[in-house]
Structure formats: C-alpha cells, structure tokens
Amino acid sequence: MAARTSANAPEAVADALHSAAIHLLRKVRKEDDRTGITPSRLSALSVLVFGGPMRVTDLARAEHVKPPTMTRIVAALEADRLATRTSNAADGRSARIEATRRGARLMHAGRKRRVVRLGEALKGLSDQDLAVLVRAAEIIETVSKTI
C-alpha cells in the first residue's frame, strides 16, 4: 500500500473533488438553460421526478429551503403544469406534490442533454482513463451516502 502524502490526504482529495465537481456541473448545467425553467424550480422538480412524490415540508428539507419558499416554487411548478398538488383527505393541512408527466419528460430530456454533453467530452479519453472514471464514480456514490 502506498504511503499517504499531503497530495492524497483526505482534505486535499476533498478539495480537488469539490473543485472538479463544481466545474463539471457548471458546464453541463448550461443545458438546463434550454428548458426556460429557473434553477430552483428545476432542482425541486428533479427531486420529485427522481425521488418520488412528497409533502412540501419534505421537499423544502431536501432542497434546503424554508417551507414558504418551497410553497412558492411548487406554485410556479403547478402553474407551468410540471407538478400537481393532491390534498390529504385525512389531514387537510397536508398535501402531496408530484411531478406531472410533462414535468418528468422535461427532467428526463434535460438529463439526457447533460449526459450527451458530458459523453462528448469523454470521447477523447483512453479506455484506461474511462475505467478510472467508472471506478471513481462508484467511489463518489459510496461516499455521497455517508455525507
């Protein structure tokens, strides 16, 4: 096993990953501009499409915003017919928010555009570099579950 150096200390690796992730996401996020939807709405819609229906309070928690802010975001998603709100018959104060088919199509199309853009950038890499990235993606997924 190789000795740990300052270059591969957890903090240095974390700093490098953080920087690379931000740069990568900024580049592929440009594809989201084509939707005409604000980043906050797209983010909330993404949680609904890929995470499933949930209450406004749970969606607000997932997006790290206050419930009144999420209520406004959800109202805008409803106005754009990207999400629907269903009242809870047992508790009139609670409602479930769900992506519409239109909202799901928009998210899946956006994800496809981002993946295609990233895939184009990866085409110039060697098979060895691609294998390294596959393994790195697996490790990042594992780490993300502990944060």
**Residue 82: what pLDDT?**
98
Ordered mean pLDDT values, 10 residues apiece, the chain (147 residues): 73 92 91 90 96 96 96 97 88 86 96 94 96 95 93
- H or E segment and range at residue 128: helix 127-144
**Residue 9: what pLDDT?**
87
> Whole-model pTM?
0.79
Choose among 34, 26, 29, 39: nearest CA to 76: 39
CATH number, domain 31-144: 1.10.10.10
Cα 112 from Cα 108, distance rounded (Å): 6
Task: Tell me the C-alpha to C-alpha distance, in Å, between residue 60 and each of 36, 57, 66, 98.
Answer: 22, 5, 6, 14
Q: First CA to last CA across the chain, in angstroms?
A: 26
Domain borders along the chain are 31-144
**Residue 94: what pLDDT?**
78
How far is C-alpha 28 from the geometric centre of its chain's CA atoms? 12
